[in-house]
Amino acid sequence: MQGIWLDNKKLTFRKDIPNPNLAEGDVLIRPRLSGICSTDLELVKGYYPFKGVLGHEFVGEVVEAPGYPELEGERVVGEINIVCGNCIHCQGGRSTHCLYRNVLGISGHDGVFADYFTLPAANLHLVSDFIPDEQAVFVEPLAAALQIREQVQINPSDNVLIIGAGRLGQLVAQTLSLTGCILSVVARYDNQRKLLEKRGIAVLDEDKIPQGTMDIVVDTTGSPMGFDAARSSVRNRGTLILKSTYASTLDIDASSLVVDEITLVGSRCGPFAPALQLMREKLVDPASLISTTFPIENGVMALNQAGEKGILKVLLTY
């Protein structure tokens, strides 16, 4: 089959990728649309040593489902962590931290930037006919944005700041605005600002970031500069949420975190069912983030463009 292959930080479009094997409990899926995210771009830079087919954001169609005939032909999205079900974390309700997990297109399991891929049937969620592919392809990153609300209680009286208005920052902004909090977002580019302002979300310039006054700050940048800006804006006894992976190491003044009693929260994968519900109710509009679409044959070009400044979501078609 054809697909986008990563090996030693080099991307290639290949036509000789072996077809995936179905393990027990797996189904075979044909992607309809897939999305390129910052994690894909960081993997190309060497964030994590991965070799194989990239990609983990998708909406697809089940083409083969041994033991699950009711799934064949269904349109689905899927959770990306492939877990053992038996370790201390799986048994304790923390399966996204499974000791033996593989992660779709990120670690130990080929991803979705190919003609076919596999996932356990247990990972799948059916997509309502009322949700178009252009929305459904965003379920995984939208769920990640919603994870913040699973981890931290956000009240209407809270002053909340988001550092970064890129792909993930926009989704975080859309979901946090639903809490009624006093929300503002630091945006760098005009297209980012317009999307936020259209939803009535306050936008700040980088030189207008408030210092030491925000109750909750979310860093979606994945950069040391973004972290520093977030750290400087959170108040004493405030909460700082890290909503991105960092390609490089951070220099952190740990003593100041202790003295100022800052709560530091790492945030990763989130709940799919609430994300699908928000789409059904049209309370979010992730499709507004689509910058451009490429056929899979031009996938290397697509990933290069996704890394350009100011670009939001780049999709692949099949």
Assign residue 262 the CATH number of its domain: 3.40.50.720
Amino acid 285 reads D
* Contacts of 197 by beta carbon, 8 Å cutoff, 6+ apart: 203
In whole angstroms, what is the distance from residue 201 CA to residue 196 CA?
5
Q: Annotate 89-121 with DSSP letters as a single string.
A: HHHTT-GGG-TT-EEETTBEE--SSBS-EEEEG
Q: Are residues 111 and 15 in the same domain?
A: yes
Overall number of domains in the chain: 2
Query: 23-52 burial string, b = 16+ CB within 10 Å, else e?
Result: eebbbbbbbbbbbbbbbbbbbbeebeebeb
In whole angstroms, what is the distance from residue 183 CA to residue 251 CA?
28
In 3D space, the residue among 36, 11, 34 whose CA is nearest the CA of residue 312 turns out to be: 36
- Predicted confidence at residue 250, as pLDDT, reads 87
Q: Are residues 159 and 210 in the same domain?
A: yes
Domain assignment present for 199: yes
Q: Are residues 20 and 112 in the same domain?
A: yes
Domain assignment present for 100: yes
Q: Are residues 193 and 241 in the same domain?
A: yes
Strands (E) in 220-281, as ranges, are 234-242, 263-266
Domain assignment present for 206: yes
Q: How far is CA 250 from CA 3, 157, 184, 228, 231, in A?
A: 34, 31, 25, 9, 12
Q: Are residues 32 and 107 in the same domain?
A: yes
In 3D space, the residue among 298, 232, 272, 318 whose CA is nearest the CA of residue 141 turns out to be: 272
Domain assignment present for 278: no
Helix (H, G, I), strand (E, B) or coil at 314: strand
CA angle 259–254–46, rounded 5-degree value? 155
Kindly calculate the radius of gyration of the chain based on its CA atoms and give it in whole angstroms. 19
Q: Are residues 10 and 67 in the same domain?
A: yes
Q: Are residues 65 and 101 in the same domain?
A: yes
Say what the pTM is: 0.95
Supply the CATH number for residue 27's domain: 3.90.180.10
Question: What's the chain's length in residues?
Answer: 318
- Predicted confidence at residue 246, as pLDDT, reads 77
Domain assignment present for 117: yes
Encoding tokens for residue 45?
A: 């830079």
Domain assignment present for 180: yes
Residue numbers of the domain that contains 162: 147-266
- Chain centroid offset of residue 58 CA: 11
Q: Which residue has the tokens 């210092």?
A: 211
Q: Are residues 156 and 261 in the same domain?
A: yes
Q: Are residues 262 and 152 in the same domain?
A: yes
Domain assignment present for 138: no
Domain assignment present for 179: yes
Q: Are residues 123 and 154 in the same domain?
A: no
Q: Are residues 41 and 81 in the same domain?
A: yes
Q: Are residues 8 and 102 in the same domain?
A: yes
Encoding tokens for residue 236?
A: 């004493």
pLDDT (tens place) for every residue of the chain, 318 residues total: 999 999 999 999 999 999 999 999 999 999 999 999 999 999 998 878 899 999 999 999 999 999 999 999 999 999 999 999 999 999 999 999 999 999 999 999 999 999 999 999 999 999 999 999 999 999 999 999 999 999 999 999 999 999 999 999 999 999 999 999 999 999 999 999 999 999 999 999 999 999 999 999 999 998 999 999 999 999 999 999 999 877 678 889 999 999 999 999 999 999 999 999 999 999 999 999 999 999 999 999 999 999 999 999 999 999
